[in-house]
Amino acid sequence: MKQIKIQKILFWLLLLVMTFIYMGPFLFSLSISFNAEQDVFSWPIKLLPEEWTLNNYKEVWQGLPFGTWLKNSAIITAVQTICNVFFASLAGFAFARLEFPGKNIIFSLFMASLMIPGIILLVPKFILLNEISLINTYGGLILPGLVSVVNIFLMKQFFETVPKDLEEAALIDGCSYFRIYWQIFLPVSKPALAAVAIYTFQGAWNEFMWPVIVTTTSDMFTLPVGMSFLKNEFSVNWPLLMSGTILISLPTLVIFLVFQRYFVEGVASSGLKE
């Protein structure tokens, strides 16, 4: 009994430490975002602002093209999320359930592509998009992130757990394969679809490297790129940067809280019961 109690205490301690490590910076950013600029560097460090101010948030909205960046980010993220869910599930269905020549080879090639570090592809991707004049356009921002092999893999694994009988019953009921995908497999795969959607959303929303490379004018910036320009060579307006950062992280937070159940299910569960 005693041992279990100690284990429990250690477990909770570990959780507390981890929570602090993850939450600390976020809470500190939150606190800074309510500070006046000159107060940030005061010594000793103050964990809470002496004078609370909303000026930074006002400044973000008014002094910066925050609305434009928000719109850009929203468009890119929305299109990429929807497309990823659709294409990944479609491809996953094909790999999991259909027989076609070269299936295994194609899938192996897909998986092999995961071994190439993304950073190597930045230059070729840029050159390619430059050739077709997509630099500094929505096309250039969105296209490279429309499908992801990881998502295809995730969906394939999930679809493989759906009982074969279900597919056969649908075939006898008169479904085409596309209808089986659309009316049977998608509805029973909500946890996996939610996981794909959340991962993609998070990835696209926070993406920094690609947008910073492919955009050249501030009207095409996404939120993370725009924020980074608050950092000048010699000075950083910390309160402004932090309030922008907090604003950026809000949608992810909301989505996570709303879909938390699916999120955990999608990661943890492997399939359906019946």
Partner 1 sequence: MAKVELKHIKKVYDNKVTAIADANVVIEDKEFAVLVGPSGCGKSTMLRMIAGLEEISGGDMLIDGERVNDLSPKDRDIAMVFQNYALYPHMTVFDNMAFGLKLRKFPKEEIKKRVEEAADILGLTDFLHRRPKAMSGGQRQRVAIGRAIVRQPKVFLFDEPLSNLDAKLRVQMRMEIKQLHKRLNATMIYVTHDQIEAMTMGNKIVVLKDGDVQQVDKPMTLYNDPANQFVGSFIGSPSMNFLEGKIEKTDRLYFRSRDVNFSIPENIEKQVSKLVGNGITLGFRPESIYDHDYEDRAQLTEKVTISIDVTEPIGAETFIYFKANDKEFCMRSSSGLVYENGQSLNIGFDVARLYFFDSESGKRLV
Q: Is the peptide bond before 65 cis (omega within 30 degrees of 0)?
A: no
Q: Which is nearer to partner 1, 74 or 166 (CB)?
A: 166
Closest distance between partner 1 and the C-beta of residue 132, in Å? 42
Closest distance between partner 1 and the C-beta of residue 167, in Å? 9
Closest distance between partner 1 and the C-beta of residue 179, in Å? 8
Closest distance between partner 1 and the C-beta of residue 267, in Å? 21
Q: Which is nearer to partner 1, 40 or 188 (CB)?
A: 188
Closest distance between partner 1 and the C-beta of residue 92, in Å? 18
Q: Which is nearer to partner 1, 51 or 165 (CB)?
A: 165
Closest distance between partner 1 and the C-beta of residue 178, in Å? 12
3-state secondary structure the chain: CHHHHHHHHHHHHHHHHHHHHHHHHHHHHHHHHCCCHHHCCCCCCCCCCCCCCCHHHHHHHHHCCHHHHHHHHHHHHHHHHHHHHHHHHHHHHHHHHCCCCCHHHHHHHHHHHCCCCHHHHHHHHHHHHHHCCCCCCHHHHHHHHCCCHHHHHHHHHHHCCCCHHHHHHHHHHCCCHHHHHHHHHHHHCHHHHHHHHHHHHHHHHHCCHHHHHHCCCHHHCCHHHHHHCCECCCCECHHHHHHHHHHHHHHHHHHHHHHHHHHHHHHHCCCCCC
Q: Which is nearer to partner 1, 141 or 193 (CB)?
A: 193
Interface contacts to partner 1, rule CB under 8 A:
163, 165-166, 168-175, 179, 184, 187-188, 272, 274
Q: Which is nearer to partner 1, 165 or 233 (CB)?
A: 165
Q: Which is nearer to partner 1, 1 or 172 (CB)?
A: 172
